[in-house]
Structure formats: C-alpha cells, structure tokens
Homo-oligomer: A and B are copies of this chain.
C-alpha cells in the first residue's frame, strides 16, 4: 500500500516554555497528533518544529510531504517568508494537502495559500459545541450531528475567510459566539482544510471526534492522481483544431 506521507509541523514553544502546557502535551501537541494519525495503516508521520534546522521543513522533508499539518500561534512572525512561499508553492503546484489547525488561521502559509487576512474575533475559554453541517462530506465520516468540547478558546465570527468550497463544521460557544470551525478550500492543485479546535491549554487533541476529523481530513487532503503535469506553469498551446 502506498502510504500518505504526513508532516505535523508545530511551533512547539508553549510546551517548552510553560509548565502548564507541558503537562498537557509533554512532547508537544504535534507528538499527540502524530501518534493518533499513526494509528492509520496508510499514514506515515514525520514530526517537525519551528526550532528544528531549516525551521523543520528542509526541502528533503517538504518535497516528500503529501499532507502538511500546521500549528502555530505566538511565533507566526518568526516563520521565514521564503518557507511560507515554498509551502504555498507545494500546495499550488504539486497538490500537497494543507491542514491549518487552530491559531494557524493567522499563519503565513494559511493566509498566503487561501488568500485571507485570517482575522477573527476571539475570547476566553469556554464550552464549545461542534455541529456537523455536511454529513455527506468525507471529513465528517462517522461524526455525529454534534459533539461537545468542555473547554476551548473562543473563536468567533466574523471570520474573514473566503466562502469555503465546503463548510463542514460550525462551532457554538457558550457566551454567544459562533464560528465556521471546519472549512475546505481548494487552492491550486491542492486541498486545504482549516479546523478550529486545539488551543494549547485545552485538551482537544485528545478528543476522539477531533482525532477522527483530523484523520478524515488527512485522507481527503492527500494529493489527487493527476492525469497531467499540474506544475507546468503557463504553457504556450498550439491550435488543437
């Protein structure tokens, strides 16, 4: 079986600098994500972090990644523009899948790839209920009509994203907000999924539905079988007839 080569990229600073976060994700939240993804026979996981050499994504890794998961928060500005550009080009020209997690809404790659400021409203931690708007979508496979996260950071509308190609999940927050919590964007030859849960101080990546959704998303976002060279740029074409 050909495996989906997944790289889970994490800023990985909260976990090193804050005891309270380290207690939740001792080896980084990417380790937890990588662990549950590795439960899938057809997925092969690489972990990467901002403070690794080449910011965790040397060409040797990026060029061999089918789906890239991205978690960043405090250090969006530290990510090199050139790296964000490389990530974008790999999505556009090679169909790499990109899954933006939680505060990745403000990351350089997400904003460049999708074409968005990433702006949203945010607030304190509170109860969230995630609603399944598209049971027919592969990313919602096996997910009930709703499930509850006891504590998540509030992310609220207006979220200034383009209208997604598929709006799969919506979030309800205890103190009055809603959010487009799970949204698909087709960009270039690639597929992008944004998924809102995952604040560092919450335990969402241990939730079985969150895990199932991320597994589903990886399968959905894996590159298609292209019938022609999608990285060919702007070719000059002779008359066909």
Interface residues of A (CB under 8 A from B): 89, 92-93, 95, 106, 112-124, 126-127, 129, 131-138, 140-146, 148, 154, 156-160, 162-163, 165-167, 170-178, 180, 185-191, 223-228, 230, 232-241
> Are A131 and B158 neighbours in the complex by a CB distance under 8 Å?
yes
Q: How many copies does the complex hold?
A: 4
**A138–B113 CA distance with the chains assembled, in angstroms:** 21
Q: Interface majority SS on A: helix, strand, loop or mixed? A: loop
Which of A132, A137, A159 is the most central at the interface, judged by chain B CB atoms within 10 Å of its CB? A132
**A187–B119 CA distance with the chains assembled, in angstroms:** 12
Contacts of A113 in B (CB 8 A): 115
**A106–B234 CA distance with the chains assembled, in angstroms:** 10
Which of A123, A136, A146, A162 is the most central at the interface, judged by chain B CB atoms within 10 Å of its CB? A136
CB distance from A119 to the nearest CB of B (A): 5
Contacts of A177 in B (CB 8 A): 129, 131, 172, 237, 240
> Are A225 and B188 neighbours in the complex by a CB distance under 8 Å?
no
**A120–B124 CA distance with the chains assembled, in angstroms:** 30
**A131–B178 CA distance with the chains assembled, in angstroms:** 8
